[in-house]
């Protein structure tokens, strides 16, 4: 796993740690929405590819959220 992917996993898990404790709405949707809105396509592509390759290190809800991401067009 490259350093970049490690970093993406860490960042995604960090996002998860904020949204999981929220008591309004669906945390998985919130995580996915955040990734969609703030991550550039190559970052999203990177994390999607990482999930496809097993998604090592991704926390449960984050994993689920990455699974819901649309594959970026670029």
Partner 1 sequence: MSLVQEIDYGTPASKSTQTVTLTIDGNPVTVSAGTSIMRAAMDAGIQVPKLCATDSVDAFGSCRLCLVEIAGRAGTPASCTTPVAAGMVVSTQTERLKQVRKGVMELYISDHPLDCLTCAANGDCELQDMAGAVGLRDVRYGYEGENHLKLEKDESNPYFTFDASKCIVCSRCVRACEEVQGTFALTIQGRGFDSKVSAGAFGDDFLSSECVSCGACVQACPTATLSEKSLIEIGQPEHSVVTTCAYCGVGCSFKAEMRGEELVRMVPYKEGKANHGHSCVKGRFAWGYANHKERILKPMIRESIEQPWREVSWQVAIDRVASEFKRLQGKHGRLAIGGITSSRCTNEETYLVQKLVRGGFGNNNVDTCARVCHSPTGYGLKTTFGTSAGTQDFDSVDQSDVIMVIGANPTDAHPVFASRMKKRLRAGAKLIVIDPRRTDIVRMPHIEADYHLPLRPGTNAAILNALAHTIVTEGLVDEAFVREFCDRDAFEHWASFVSEPQNSPETVGLVAGVSPAAIRGAARLYATGGNGAIYYGLGVTEHSQGTTAVMALANLAMATGNLGKRGVGVNPLRGQNNVQGACDMGSFPHELTGYRHISDDATRTMFEKLWGRPLDAEPGLRIPNMFDAAIDGTFKGLYVQGEDILQSDPNTEHVVRALAAMECVVVQDLFLNETANYAHVFLPGSTFLEKDGTFTNAERRINRVRKVMTPKNGMADWEITLAIAKAMGFEMPYSHPSEIMDEIAKLTPTFAGVSYELLDKEGSVQWPCNEKAPLGTPIMHIGGFARGKGNFMITEYVPTDERTGPRFPLLLTTGRILSQYNVGAQTRRTDNVVWHQEDVLEIHPHDAEQRGIRDGDWVKLDSRAGGTALHARITDRVAPGVVYTTFHHPDTQANVVTTEYSDWATNCPEYKVTAVQVSPSNGPSEWQKEYAEQADHSRRIATKVAAE
1-40 binders of partner 1 (CB under 8 A)? 2-4, 7, 10-11, 14-15, 17-18, 21-24, 34, 36-40
Radius of gyration of the chain (CA): 11
Determine if 71 is a binding residue for partner 1 (CB under 8 A): no
CB of 14 to partner 1, least distance (A): 4
Q: Which residues bind partner 1 (CB under 8 A)?
A: 2-4, 7, 10-11, 14-15, 17-18, 21-24, 34, 36-43, 72-74
């Amino acid at each position: 796993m490259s350093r970049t992917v490690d970093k993406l996993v860490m960042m995604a898990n960090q996002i998860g740690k904020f949204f999981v404790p929220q008591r309004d709405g669906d945390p998985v949707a919130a995580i996915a929405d955040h990734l969609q809105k703030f991550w550039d396509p190559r970052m999203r592509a990177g994390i999607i590819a990482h999930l496809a390759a097993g998604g090592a290190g991704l926390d449960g809800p984050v994993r689920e959220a990455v699974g819901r991401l649309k594959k970026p067009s670029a």
